[in-house]
Amino acid sequence: MVGVRILGGRKTGLAAVLVAALACAAPFLPLDFSAAPPATAQDVAFFRIATGASQSLYFAIGGLLASAISNPPGSRNCEEGGSCGVPGLIAVAQTTGGAVANVEAVAGKSIESGLTQSDVAHFAFTGAGVFANKGKLDGLRALANLYQESLHLVVRRGAKIAKVADLAGKRVSLGEDGSGTGITARLLLRAYGLSDKKIRAQALSSAQAAEKIKAKKLDAFFAVGGAPIPAVTDLAAAGLVDILPLAGDVVAKLRDKYPFLTVDIIPAETYPGIGDTVTLGVGVLWVVSADLPEPLAYELTKALWHPATRQLLDRGHSIGKKIRFETALSGLPIPLHPGAQRYYTEAGAKAAQPPASE
C-alpha cells in the first residue's frame, strides 16, 4: 500500500527541516507507508514529488506544489494566514532524471508522486513506445493536468533547415537519453518518415546542445519546456538560431492520433527576434499510484486548488500562473485517481475519462 509514513510525536522547527532534508537525500528509497492523511496534529508524514534536475522547471514547480500541500504540525491555521495544505504533511521536491524516470518510480511505488509529460504518461500506461519492453504501467493515476509545455525545434541559422523534412542527414539532438523530450521528438519525426537512422541523432541536454550550436557542431535540437527556455533565449539573443514552426497536415494528423498533443503558440519576442511560432503543446501531469489512499489523494487535490495555493503559484513562478483549475482535466491520457475524481466532482468539474486499461 502506498501512502505516507507517519512519524509519532510532534515535529516542528528545525526537526521538520531535517526531516525534509533527509527525504531529499534518499531518492526513491521505499518508505514504510500507511493508509491515510495524518490523523492528528501530533503526527508528521512525508510526501515526495519526483521532478527533474535541480535547475529544471519541473523542480521549481515541484517546490511550489510541495509548499502548497505541506502543513506541518505547529503551523498557523489556514484561516489565520498559515499553511492550507494537508494537516501534518511535509512535502519535498525530489531531484530525478525527469519525466520517464518519474513515471517508472511512481508506478514502482518507490516514490509517492511525480511530474511527467502527457505523452510519456500515455505510453507508460499503455505499454507502448519506449515502454514496449517494460510492460504496461497501468497503475498510474492523475491528480491534475498542471500546465502546457512547448515543443521547440531549434535550428541553427545557416544549417539550411526550413522544414522538418530538411532534418534528414543533419546533426540533431533529441534530448538526453530517457528524457520526455526524446519521446515527443520521435513522435514528430516518425510522422514525417524520419527515424533515428535518417538523421545524425545525438542525446544532449539543452545546455549541451546550445554549446554545440555555438561551435557549429550541431544543426538542430529538440527541447520540451515552458517558454522561455534559458538556453534557447541565449542563442536567439545572439542571432544564432530560429525556432521551426510545426503546423500543416502532417502535424494535424499527429494531433488527431494523439489527442494529448495540442496546438501551441510561442508568442512573438518570447525569444529575441523570433515572431509568433506555432508548435505542439504537451501537458505536464502530476501523477500518483492507483494504490495511493483515496483520502490522501482527495486532500492533495483539494490543497492544490485552495485559494491560498493560487496566490503561491502566481507569485512563485511565471509558469505557476498557467496552472489553472479550468484546465486541470484537459487532455488527460490516464485515469484520474478516485480521490482526485471525488474532489473534482464535488467542485463541479467534468472530464471524459479514458478506460482503466487499453
**CA 358 – CA 353 distance, rounded (Å):** 12
Burial class (CB in 10 A: 0-12, 13-18, 19+), 265: middle
User: Among the residues of the chain, which ranges form H helices?
Assistant: 14-25, 57-69, 99-107, 118-126, 180-191, 206-214, 230-237, 249-257, 294-304, 307-316, 338-347
Distance of CA 171 to the CA centre of its chain: 27
Residue with cell 492507483: 290
Question: What is the rounded average pLDDT of the residues 206-211?
Answer: 96
Sorted by where each begins, the domain ranges of the chain are 6-147+285-347, 149-282
Q: How confident is the model at residue 351 (pLDDT cuts 50, 70, 90)?
A: low
Eight-class DSSP state of 86:
S
Per-residue burial over 181-192, b = 16 or more CB atoms within 10 Å of its CB, e = otherwise: bbbbbbbbbebe
Angle ∠(326,69,87) on CA atoms, nearest 5: 125
pLDDT over threshold 80, residue 30: no
Q: How confident is the model at residue 92 (pLDDT cuts 50, 70, 90)?
A: very high
Q: Are 219 and 156 in contact (CB under 8 A)?
A: yes
Q: Give pLDDT, residue 80.
A: 83
CA atoms within 13 A on the CB side of 18: 5
User: Are 6-147+285-347 and 149-282 in the same CATH fold?
Assistant: yes
Which architecture, in CATH terms, is 149-282?
3-Layer(aba) Sandwich (3.40)
pLDDT over threshold 50, residue 1: no
Q: How confident is the model at residue 63 (pLDDT cuts 50, 70, 90)?
A: very high
Q: Are 19 and 26 in contact (CB under 8 A)?
A: no
Show Cβ contacts of residue 40 under 8 Å, excluding neighbours closer than 6 positions: 88
**CA 211 – CA 207 distance, rounded (Å):** 7
The cell for 64 is 511550489
pLDDT over threshold 80, residue 25: no
Amino acid type, 66: A
**Residue, of 80 and 249, whose pLDDT is higher:** 249
Q: Does domain 6-147+285-347 have CATH number 3.40.190.10?
A: yes
pLDDT tens digits, 102-145: 999 999 999 999 999 999 999 999 999 889 988 899 999 999 99
Closest CA to 302 of 344, 349, 351: 344
What is the reported pTM? 0.84
Q: How confident is the model at residue 350 (pLDDT cuts 50, 70, 90)?
A: low
| Mean pLDDT computed over every residue of the chain | 87
The cell for 151 is 515543443
Q: How confident is the model at residue 9 (pLDDT cuts 50, 70, 90)?
A: very low
Residue 270: which H helix or E strand, with range? none
pLDDT over threshold 60, residue 161: yes
Distance of CA 89 to the CA centre of its chain: 22
List for the chain the helix, strand, coil content (%; round to 5): 35, 20, 40
Burial class (CB in 10 A: 0-12, 13-18, 19+), 246: buried
Question: What is the rounded average pLDDT of the residues 184-209?
Answer: 95
Q: Which residues pair with 148 in a beta bridge?
A: 283
pLDDT tens digits, 218-243: 999 999 999 999 999 999 999 999 99
Question: What is the rounded average pLDDT of the residues 256-266?
Answer: 94
pLDDT over threshold 50, residue 321: yes
